[in-house]
Chain A
């Protein structure tokens, strides 16, 4: 099988706050020219690199806001986030947990640092990813999947702790718990220094890796340091990731959704008309109601 080559290594640029609780690098679409189409179905990726939040009696975060037309996936590495949405979904996610919220036809939600965690403060590190939905499912019923670290399916590489946690899709026969609407492989690979793992993903899938901790070398040629995104070309299937130091790497690969994208703020649809409908439906309460 042919090697899937690194097309570019993208360094993080400036950080910005989302609400007052998430200090993120926007990697997709971002200023690096990674468009929603180029990375489809991954239309947005915000990365909150490790950041210390001092104790706060009032939890920091993002207040009530709507989404329609896609799914939000929150991957917690450090810290705790509490979530509530207008379709009744809610809960707390912490280290190792993943929250997969299907906004689809529309939800209102809010995300804040968990109350007790906020009072103590601490190191915070998370990824939020938006996964697009195909036209046929943009107006499906909203859903919520909470996948705790304990439930996460794992492919064990060695006894020293190297493993691939499969959030969605499949790795070496191990299937992830998250249900998706189109093929999406999402893994967290923990690799001890010197350990290498090989991945085999379809050539046409849009594929990238984000180095959460440590530093890796891809295919023996490209170094990808912490907080950098390694973007793969759409050719070849196999690539190898070797940890230079103890590392954690998020790997995302998905079948592109070959449809027009009309995006405006929290709505991602296929046409401008559907965006206008989304605003109207949100304004007249069709997304429900959620207290601030």
Chain B
């Protein structure tokens, strides 16, 4: 149970088994079925989700009803709306489960407990925050400057197994291209890379 989360805390905070038991004593976890919504636009959500197993996505819905996927979170990823979790504002986004998913709820109190137990966790947590900002910069740059093929190649680098877990239209939504354009990219890659001998 919670093997991924335990490994994460071992690696990032160097917690002993005893410390892990202490900090996770009143930890909240939950299991969501595929399709269930964890966060709705307008809600205030004061925690971050750690994905122990399964797959979540963060998305917005534009005025014309179109979904725009900002992030996928498979196993070992964190997902949250920081405007809500950190600034306490009503969220502009939705989070839902693409697969049956087990999550750990992380809040400020939990992070304080881990930091108290392990001073090195503060720098690990800082690193994770900067890594997240780096990821967002890359993503912004990709969306304003990259070709459809470059976007797809970055996607498979970051999420190697999601092409088999997520429908094409969701990948296209995440990449900011049409499903037809994604299909053309994959067909063109196959034309170049498929050796039928």
Q: Which residues of A contact B (CB under 8 A)?
A: 65-66, 86-88, 141, 264-266, 276, 279-280, 282-289
List which B132-162 residues lie within 8 A (CB) of chain A. Answer: 153, 156, 160-161
Also in contact, A87 and B196, with CB within 8 A (given A283-B163, A284-B156, A289-B186): yes
Beta-carbon nearest neighbor of B193 in chain A: A285
Chain B residues whose CB sits within 8 angstroms of the CB of A264 once the complex forms: 161
Within the complex, the shortest CB–CB distance from B181 to chain A, in Å, comes to: 15
Select which of A266, A280, A288 is within 8 A of B160 by beta carbon. Answer: A280
Contact call A286/B194, Cβ cutoff below 8 A: yes
Q: Within the complex, what minimum Cβ distance (angstroms) separates B145 from chain A? A: 21
Known A283-B160, A288-B194; further 14 A-B contacts with Cβ < 8 A: A65-B164, A141-B197, A265-B161, A279-B156, A279-B160, A279-B164, A283-B156, A283-B163, A284-B153, A284-B156, A284-B193, A285-B187, A287-B194, A289-B190
Q: Please report the C-alpha to C-alpha distance between residue A285 and residue B156 in the assembled complex, in whole angstroms.
A: 12
For chain B, which range describes its interface: under 10, 10 to 19, 20 to 34, or 35 or more residues? 10 to 19
Q: Which chain B residues lie closer than 8 Å to A66 at the CB level? A: 164
Q: Which of A65, A87, A284, A287 has most B Cβ within 10 Å? A: A284
Contact B187 A289 (CB under 8 A): yes
Q: Which residue of A141, A287, A289 is within 8 Å of B191 (Cβ)?
A: A289
Given the interface pairs A280-B156, A284-B156, the reply to whether A266 lies near B164 with Cβ below 8 Å is yes
* B59 CB, nearest partner CB in chain A, Å: 22
Determine chain B's interface SS by DSSP, over half rule: helix
Question: Which chain B residue lies CB-closest to A286?
Answer: B193
Q: Does B189 contact A (CB under 8 A)?
A: yes
B195 within 8 A of A: yes
Q: In the bound complex, do residue B190 and residue A288 qualify as a contact, i.e. CB atoms below 8 Å apart?
A: yes
For B185, give the chain A residue with the smallest CB separation.
Answer: A285
State A263–B5 Cα separation when bound (angstroms).
Answer: 23
Q: What secondary structure prevails in chain A residues at the interface with B? A: loop
Residue of B with least CB distance to A106 = B194
Give the chain B neighbours of A265 by CB distance below 8 A: 161, 164
Q: Which residue of B lies closest to A276 (CB)?
A: B160
A86 touches B163 (CB 8 A): no
Minimal Cβ-Cβ distance residue in A for B167: A63
- Residues of A near B194 (CB, < 8 A) are 86, 285-289
**B28 part of interface (Cβ distance < 8 Å):** no
Find chain A residues with CB under 8 A from B190 CB.
Answer: 86, 285-289
- Chain B residues lying within 8 Å of A286, measured Cβ to Cβ, are 190, 193-195
Question: A266 — nearest CB in chain B belongs to which residue?
Answer: B164
How far does the alpha carbon of A87 sit from the alpha carbon of B195 in the complex, in Å?
A: 10
B192 at the binding interface (Cβ < 8 Å): yes
The contact sample of 12 A-B pairs, CB cut-off 8 A, is A141-B197, A279-B156, A280-B156, A283-B156, A283-B163, A285-B191, A286-B193, A286-B194, A289-B186, A289-B187, A289-B190, A289-B191
A156 to B77, CA, bound (A): 60
- Using CB atoms, name the residue of chain A closest to B161: A279
> What residues on A are CB-neighbors of B156 within 8 Å?
279-280, 283-284
* A138–B140 CA distance with the chains assembled, in angstroms: 40
Residue of B nearest to A279 (CB): B160
Contact with A along B174-190 (1 / 0, CB 8 A): 00000000000011111
Q: Which residues of B contact A284 (CB under 8 A)?
A: 153, 156, 189, 193
- Nearest CB of chain A from residue B193's CB, rounded to whole Å: 4
> What are the residues of chain B within 8 A of A288 when measuring CB–CB?
190, 194, 196
User: Which parts of B74-95 form the interface with A (CB within 8 Å)?
Assistant: none
Closest to A281 in B: B193
CA distance A255 to B138 in the complex (A): 51
> Chain A residues near B186 (CB, 8 Å)?
285, 289
Min CB–CB distance B72 → chain A (angstroms): 15
In this complex, what residue of A is CB-closest to B165? A265
Chain B nearest CB from A281 CB (Å) reads 8
Query: How far is B189's CA from A286's CA once the two chains are assembled, in angstroms?
Result: 8
- In the assembly, what is the distance between CA of A288 and CA of B187, in Å? 8
* Chain B 56-68 per-residue mask, 1 if CB under 8 angstroms from chain A, else 0: 0000000000000
Residues of A within 8 A of B189 (CB): 284-285
A88→B196 CA distance, assembly (Å): 10
Task: Output the nearest chain B residue to A264 by Cβ-Cβ distance.
Answer: B161
